[in-house]
Amino acid sequence: MNFNVPTYVWMSFLMFGLAFALTLRSFLTSDMMKSVSDCYTADLDTFEGGLRWMDPDSLFRQPPMVSCNSYVGAFITFVESQKISLLFHVNMPICCSILLGRAIIKSVFGELWSLESQHMYDRMLNFLLFKVIFIGAVMDPVWRHILRLSMWIGILGFLRIFSLLSRDRFENFLPVALDTTQVIAKYLAHLLDQSRESGFESKRLINYYTEISADVLILGCTLLQYLQLMWMHGVSFGLVDIVLFLNVRSVLKNLHSKVLIHRERWRAMNYVQSQYVDATDAELNAYDDDCAICRDELKTAKKLSCGHLFHFLHVQIGTAYTRGSNTTFPNQHAQHAGVAYHRLQMRNSLNQHHHHY
């Protein structure tokens, strides 16, 4: 028969009820119950005697009391002396913690990913093994003390597992939130461009800065996560450290390339702004054609020395390409080479996009 949680829960409740009933029956007829009852009877007689002989000036003084254990405390002590009954009583909080954990997962986290489930089980196993070794190393072999400390450690482990699960979910949510923000910003810029008759030339700049900002933030979050793992794991010369160092190196390399590309784009943008003039409305009407690169309508454009009109961003990218190729400016062939290269890149990107869908 395969083990599952509902079967375990029903068996736990059944065995706990049976063990509780039998233990309570044994406790009511035990010497411990008799001693607690006698203690409370003597306590009551002492209290009544103190009231009988008490003078009027001592009404606000506390009468002498006999210290007695409560019935609940005596019952718990009695359960701790019964090994089999104690096993079923301890199993009940474990069963309740499993039910509470599944309810929290269902209501807060939803369906767990396979990676999250694996991380949760690994952390729980590591936590339990570490604490068992810790308890065995520092605690005296007193069954009652070990049991109570184990229950407290179980509560701490329950809270720790779900706090780490929340951290994992937030780390996975943050890159998705950044990508979603990037897509929303691009579509808002596109809608603004479509709503204006004169166009919105800054749309492409907004798309570019949104994309590079999202990429840099995602790489930064990944780098911080790797650094946190290195700080928690410690620096040594094991296989885990080698993998972490390689991942950190890859992230730093990608960040460096992003910074270099942005620097070249920034220089190219300044060069295009200073070297090329904006096309006038008369020139745009006379040109009466779409952009040869993106095939969008030319509402605003930059005019090359040869007389061709392109969007500002395409001229900027072509300029960045020719600058990276160490081409001397101004040069009409270099300008067309850069623009043609950018047009080829856009065609390849569109072909990959259509092939993907």
Question: Which residue ranges make up each domain of the chain?
Answer: 1-110, 112-172, 196-356
Q: Please state, in angstroms and as integers, the Cα–Cα distance from residue 43 to each residue in 34, 36, 133, following that order.
A: 14, 10, 45
The SS3 of residue 310 is strand
Q: Which residues pair with residue 309 across a beta bridge?
A: 303
Query: pLDDT tens track of the chain, all 357 residues?
Result: 455 777 888 888 888 888 888 888 887 887 777 776 766 565 544 544 444 444 444 444 444 444 455 667 777 777 777 778 778 888 888 888 888 888 888 888 877 777 777 777 787 777 777 776 666 665 566 667 777 777 787 888 888 888 888 877 776 677 777 778 878 877 887 777 777 665 566 667 777 788 888 888 878 878 887 787 777 666 667 776 777 788 888 889 988 888 888 887 787 777 777 777 777 777 766 766 666 666 666 666 677 767 667 766 667 666 666 655 444 444 444 444 444 444 445 444 444 434 433
Q: Please state, in angstroms and as integers, the Cα–Cα distance from residue 108 to each residue in 120, 160, 169, 185, 210, following that order.
A: 15, 16, 11, 29, 31
**Does residue 68 contact residue 43 with C-beta atoms inside 8 Å?**
yes
How much is the pTM?
A: 0.42
